[in-house]
Each structure stands twice: as structure tokens, then as C-alpha cells.
Amino acid sequence: MGATQQPPTTINRVALVTGAAQGIGRATALRLAADGLDVAVADLPVKADALTKVAEEIRGLGCKALALIADVSKEDQVKAMVEATVSGLGRLDVMVANAGVAKAAAIGVMDAEMEDWEETWDVNIRGTILCYKYAARQMVKQNIRGRIIGASSICGLRGYAGMGGYCISKAAVRSLTQSMALELRQHGITVNAYAPGVIETNMTAMDVDKQHGPGFGVKSLLKVTEFRTGKPEDVANIVSFLASSDAHFVTGQTISVDDGVHFA
């Protein structure tokens, strides 16, 4: 694999980013567009307006864009999302399974309501599996050196007290990424994940942050207040590399982007 094995320059590579209406997904979609890829962005119906704006921003960068409504926890919707990307933009080269939730975070195992945790697992685990599955099928069909990238977390690299439900889901993304990387090696498709520390997005916005700065509340929960809070663009930089031809020798990895909270 290498730069020469990417599609000819006349064919634009196409990325699909889920959870792209805001936060890390939005920054990633814009970064991939800045890198020259055409980008399909997907999110829930409630985010339709924000998603349309992201698609407009991508077009403003001179790339094609498609805004798709899809709930990643629903298999028929993920399948349709991938099909719509291919029919609208011609192909699929890069899948970024970014959509995720942290419902009922900060609840200890003894107090856990399974229904609450299962909601998180439906999106973070089931949703990521489905995105990997249908992206891989499409990439194998196209016979291309595709890139599949998922959203893990520092919470996927070790357990945190009171964060079990979310930690389980992000450890599952790391494990899935390893298995899938081995399955897809024969096709020249790489599968990697990013493991952000605390990033300034809606997910980490808490009332306590207003007094101490973005991300402070979550960093307090995780007992990592000495580390900086990152920006969505800090994560998008890593995704940009993993999506590039230069990353052809990297697969099965979950890459920390966390100001040094965890070492591999």
C-alpha cells in the first residue's frame, strides 16, 4: 500500500463522517474537506439544520458534500447511509464512525440502570459495529485501500470510577478496531481509532465549567484536572493523518490524543 495505490487524482476520495453536526465530527468533516476529500456528513434528525450548515461549509471549501440523516444504532439506516453516500458522491474511501453519546455517565455500577447504559452501548458499540460493517463491505466491493476510523476515548484505554457504562463502550470500540483490522488486512484496508482526552464540545459542557473553564467538570470526574482540554480540531488532525495515504502502515491502533493522560 502507498500513495501510488490511492485513486488517481482525477477521482476525488470520499469520506463519510457520522455525528458530524457538531463537535469532533464537524471539525473532522471540515478537516477532511480541507484535505480535498468530498464529504458526506450524517447525524440525527434533530440535528438536520446544523448538519445542512456543515455541508454548506464543506462546499465553501470547494468540495462536494451530502447531508444525510441516519441513526447509527439502526442497521437499515446505516446501510442506507452508506448507499446514499455512494449514489450521491460516487464511492466511499474513508469512514469515520464518530457518533457517540455519554448517557448516564457519572453513575457507579451499583447504581446503574441497565436501560440507561444500554442506550449508550446502542450508539457507541452497535452503531460503530454497523458503520464498520457496511463501510467495509462497500470498500471491499470497490477494491480500494480504504480507511475505517472509529471514536474510542481515554475511557476506552482504562476504567474510571463512576464511568463504567461509557468506558465499556469505548473499550469495545478499541477491541472491535483490532479485530476488524486483522480481518481487513488482506484487502489493504486500515482500521484505527482515536482516543481523545477531554475535548471542548457539547458532550463535556457542564455547569461547573462556567466557573473553571471548558472541560473542567469532566476532568474532575476523571481526576485528570492537570491535563489541558483539547479542541475538536486537535482530534481532526489525527483523523486527517489516519485517513491519508501516509498512514498505510498503521492499522489496529487506538491513538491517544489527550495531552499525555495515557501512554500506549
What's the min distance (Å) between Cβ of 141 and ligand NAD? 24
Contact string 63-82 vs ligand NAD (x = CB under 6 A): --------xxx---------
Neighbours of 3 (CB within 10 A): 9
C-beta of residue 177 within 8 angstroms of C-beta of residue 252: yes
Residues 76-135 binding ligand NAD (CB under 6 A) are 98-102, 123, 127
Q: What share of the chain is helix, strand, coil (3-state, %, to 5)?
A: 50, 15, 35
Residue 106 zone, left/alpha/beta (φ > 0; ψ -120 to 50; rest): left
Beta bridge partners of 151: 194
Residues 210-229 binding ligand NAD (CB under 6 A) are none
What's the min distance (Å) between Cβ of 165 and ligand NAD? 12
Neighbours of 75 (CB within 10 A): 14
Neighbours of 89 (CB within 10 A): 22
**Interface pick for ligand NAD out of 31, 47, 174, 219 (rule CB under 6 A):** 47
Q: Does 28 bind ligand NAD (CB under 6 A)?
A: no
Q: Does 44 bind ligand NAD (CB under 6 A)?
A: yes
Which DSSP helix (H) or strand (E) runs through 209? helix 209-212
Contact string 5-24 vs ligand NAD (x = CB under 6 A): -------------xx-xxxx
Catalytically active residues, by annotation: 166, 170
Task: Summarize as ranges the residues that interact with ligand NAD (CB under 6 A).
Answer: 18-19, 21-25, 43-44, 47, 71-73, 98-102, 123, 127, 151, 153, 196, 198-199, 201-204
